[in-house]
Amino acid sequence: MYAVFFVALAWLPCCVSSAVDAPPVLLVSLDGLGWTFTGGEQSKTPNLDNIASNGVHAEYMLTVTPTKTWPTHQTYVTGLYPESHGIVSNNFWDPLFKEKFILQYDCSNFDPKFYDAAEPIWLTLQKQGGRSGVHFWPGFYSYKEKPSSFEKPTCFVNCTALNMDSKNLWQHRNKTRSGWPPYIHCFANQSLPYKNRIDKILNWLQEKNPPKFLALYINEPDSSGHSFGINTGEYVEAIKRVDKDVVGYLIQRLQNANLLHKINVIFVSDHSMIETSSSRAIYLSDLVDTSTFTMSEQGVIGHLWPNDPNLEDQIYANLTRVQNPHMKVYKKRDIPSSLHWKNNRRVPPIYIETEVGWVVQPNRPAASSNWTNAGHGWQASKELGAIFYARGPSFKRGYKTKQALQAIDVYPLLCHLLGIKPLPNNGSLENMKEILHSNPSSASVRCVFSTIITYVVPFVMLLAIV
């Protein structure tokens, strides 16, 4: 009798962390906020500093190659390197589909087939019985199964009704802009005030059956960095606004709703930014006939697809006949495996990586001009490192990590916090354990107490009667 009782007790499911008893988790991404621009002389971030004092933070977070928005945000919610989750850049060519993927604005971004190599954490959570809420996370609207709650993008064209063949897509483009991109299909309404976005998150959290995982994406200070450069007042002011109106306002709202001590909040970014200028531009037309290939990605990196596969060797030879110290040219097979950006059909036959601070373009502009702005997309490094701040019942207080964290490890951390089983991924929870409380979670304590009341006490009473 005793043996049966204790064997049954050992198998009680309530003592396994689950999405039912775990505190909710909110992941907030502040696009383009480099770790060197927080808590220092370059810009004041008192609210992020407060998170660090009451929670944990890393000196910096190493993201993934390329250090671009779409690949990194997919890594955060899948734990996979870009070569595995398939979103290998903000723009890329898929030789199987014979179509080009273009991050925001374009219908290609809303086509599920580009995302079918990986499942984001909110869908995994929902399959395991939980609910999710997502506000403008890059790529979230592209899956057939949507989050439990979400903010819909603004659409001028019904992307799902179009023939997605890229050769015909131009016919459906709205010529609504004079600059790049000159068309808009669907887009996240980034003009929506920050406080309105956070209010929506709080509304979801206060529903009768609230989401357990929530994700919020903020497009600044990245937009200001691209437009004005990072050594400008505009970029610094964008950081101050984000710190005040996103971080500060969110914490205030959570506190007012009596939720601050009941939720795990994590702040990340996708990359830092580096100044670029017209004096650090490389024009491929100086080296090769640019009509022999198509560039599916250009700027700080170059994706070259020969128009005739037989021309690959010739194009490569022309690009490398004069060594340029500010540019590396790789055939696909020679891309370093350490970048974890090689084993995917969407990686081009010829890949150009510029020196940090330099850019590559196919042709010289018709009229010369002087410009300075900021970019990102070079391989992951400390210089391009992102931020990581977190607070909540599962995190230590006032703790700074002993080493840099990695973006691939955020996914297993999220799964652990939510109490769900992760899918196969490239990350490791082991690398995140130093920021977590070593004591049992409150959910575990409640579970043990519930077990005692439900099973042990009646058993003891039964023994007394016997």
The pTM score is: 0.88
Structure tokens at 267: 């702040």
> Are residues 194 and 156 part of one domain?
yes
Structure tokens at 37: 């621009």
Average pLDDT over the chain, rounded to whole?
88
* Nearest alpha-carbon partner for 228 in 371, 40, 413, 366: 371
Structure tokens at 275: 């100044």
The reported pLDDT for the residue numbered 464 is 52
Q: Per the domain annotation, does 446 fall within a domain?
A: no
Least confident range from 313-317, 322-326, 334-338, 414-418: namely 322-326
To the nearest 10 degrees (0 to 180), the angle between helices 194-205 and 249-256 is 30
Q: Is 292 left (phi over 0), alpha (psi -120 to 50) or beta?
A: alpha
Angle at 415 between CA 22 and CA 398, to 5 degrees: 75
The mean per-residue pLDDT over the stretch 147-152 comes to 94
Least confident range from 163-177, 380-394, 414-428: namely 163-177
> Is 396 within 8 Å of 74 (Cβ atoms)?
no
* Nearest alpha-carbon partner for 75 in 334, 360, 426: 426
The number of domains in the chain is: 2
> How far is Cα 357 from Cα 243, in angstroms, rounded to an integer?
27
Q: Per the domain annotation, does 114 fall within a domain?
A: yes
The reported pLDDT for the residue numbered 181 is 62
Q: Locate tokens 């887009």: which residue?
A: 187
> Are residues 186 and 55 part of one domain?
yes
Q: Per the domain annotation, does 461 fall within a domain?
A: no
- Residue 444 pLDDT grade (very low, low, confident, very high; cuts 50, 70, 90): very low
> Are residues 421 and 315 part of one domain?
no
> How far is Cα 246 from Cα 197, in angstroms, rounded to an integer?
9
> Are residues 215 and 83 part of one domain?
yes
> Are residues 296 and 215 part of one domain?
no
Q: In CATH, what number is assigned to the domain containing residue 354?
A: 3.30.1360.180
Edge-to-edge strands of the sheet including 56-57? 149-150, 132-135, 213-218, 25-30, 264-268, 388-391, 56-57, 399-400
pLDDT tens sequence across 57-96 = 999 999 999 999 999 999 999 999 999 999 999 999 999 9
| Alpha carbon 387 to its chain's center | 12
To the nearest 10 degrees (0 to 180), the angle between helices 410-418 and 69-78 is 40
Query: Residue 277 forms beta bridges with which residues?
Result: 372
> Are residues 295 and 187 part of one domain?
no
> How far is Cα 266 from Cα 465, in angstroms, rounded to an integer?
52
Q: Per the domain annotation, does 286 fall within a domain?
A: yes
pLDDT tens sequence across 275-303 = 999 999 999 999 999 999 999 999 999 99
> Are residues 397 and 327 part of one domain?
no
Residue range(s) defining the domain that contains residue 219: 25-275+380-435
DSSP state string for 108-147:
GGG-GGGGTT---HHHHHHHTT--EEEES-TTGGGSSSPP
pLDDT tens sequence across 362-406 = 999 888 788 889 999 999 999 999 999 999 999 999 999 999 999
> Are residues 114 and 59 part of one domain?
yes
> Are residues 217 and 286 part of one domain?
no
> Is 378 within 8 Å of 274 (Cβ atoms)?
yes
- Residue 167 pLDDT grade (very low, low, confident, very high; cuts 50, 70, 90): low
Q: Is 98 left (phi over 0), alpha (psi -120 to 50) or beta?
A: left
For residue 14, give the DSSP letter. Answer: G
Cis before 181? omega within 30: yes
The reported pLDDT for the residue numbered 455 is 45
SS3 305: strand
The mean per-residue pLDDT over the stretch 192-207 comes to 97
> Are residues 392 and 336 part of one domain?
no
* Nearest alpha-carbon partner for 347 in 81, 53, 110: 81
Least confident range from 38-52, 64-78, 336-350: namely 38-52
> Are residues 207 and 84 part of one domain?
yes
Q: Could you give the C-alpha distances from 238 to 30, 31, 218, in angstroms and in order?
A: 11, 11, 11
